[in-house]
Amino acid sequence: MSTVIPFESAKPAAAPKPERVGVLLVNLGTPDTADATGVRVYLKEFLSDPRVIEDQGLVWKLILNGIILRVRPARKARDYLKIWNTEKNESPLKTITRSQADKLAEAIADHDHVVVDWAMRYGNPSIKQRIETLAAQGCGRLLLVPLYPQYSAATSATVCDEAFRVLAAMRAQPILRVTPPYYDDPDYIEALAVSINEHLATLPFQPEIIIASFHGMPQDYVDKGDPYQAQCIATTNALRKRLGLDANRLILTFQSRFGNAEWLQPYTDKTVEKLAKDGVRRMAVVTPGFSADCLETLEEIAQENAEIFRHNGGEQFAAIPCLNDSDGGMDVIRQLVLRELQGWI
């Protein structure tokens, strides 16, 4: 005989718990150790990526393995040692990216089904390792966050390439979203402007010129359709407008050339040298294409280019820090992530 339970006494079913969502912050990468061996492993992975060096033919392989990986690691290791976080025995990029992930997790802790993690495109922790870890934690949805304000095939796209390779080997794939570039996002421009003004206020001098230095790229890549240069220009124009500076006071340049091909111009080091020779005595450099300080900002700009400036007659030079894990920088990342998680949280 069946029993009828009165409707009024039936307990409501528990609301289904939302599916866990993984958020993976990804930056470029770093050697595991500040010695020739660690740098060689890192450079081999980095320079073997066809997104970075598009022609991976026999000639390039001979140059890479026969010359570059024999000569360059020891020299670059010395550069890394100049900026190395000796307390944690890691590069500043790794220290900062970890902190960004920790602070983001804390900022969105009210969404307790969201798991925040971080990875490096080259080196460790790898994208493969972190995606598999998130999947093992029950994350059926994944938001990939390439920490590059401006898109390029050699940065944002290769992060996606690697994530797709990992997913291709998974039987139970998480649903994937990727955050867009944020080169002209009002929150990003505002955070940059506030950071620049705050840092300038601490200096014992007023710079005559501010250089906005972005990582370089072969001109050929842009000619083939990469939007990177246009987005760097858009960032600089928005920053000029926000700071009230014209093109003579805030100058756009590109750094970190590699090889003999023509790269995006004007070059940062050549511009710094020329300005010093032309009589500029006080200069500041900001690097809006980097979300975290790294070898290119802490050593190449703050040390190498400072020396170029002073050697050619300049007197006072300041490298303005990246947004890093500052309150303003974290607000940019938080807003970007929450916007792209709509419908999942």
Binding residue ranges: 215, 296
Q: Residues comprising the binding site for Fe(2+)?
A: 215, 296
Q: Give dist(CA 134, CA 111) in Å, integer.
A: 16
Q: Is the CB of residue 325 less than 8 Å from the CB of residue 288?
A: no
Q: Give dist(CA 236, CA 119) in Å, integer.
A: 28
User: CA 208 from chain center: how many Å?
Assistant: 28
DSSP for 233-274 reads: HHHHHHHHHHHT--TTTEEEEEE---SSS-BSSSBHHHHHHH
Tokens of 64: 């890479």
Q: Give dist(CA 22, CA 117) in Å, integer.
A: 7
Q: Give dist(CA 94, CA 295) in Å, integer.
A: 11
Q: Give dist(CA 291, CA 328) in Å, integer.
A: 11
CB-CB neighbours of 241 under 10 Å: 12
Q: Give dist(CA 25, CA 317) in Å, integer.
A: 32
Hey, is 1 helix, strand or coil?
coil
Half-sphere exposure of 167 (CA within 13 A, CB side): 15
Q: Is the CB of residue 68 less than 8 Å from the CB of residue 74?
A: no
Hey, is 71 helix, strand or coil?
helix
Q: Give dist(CA 322, CA 287) in Å, integer.
A: 7
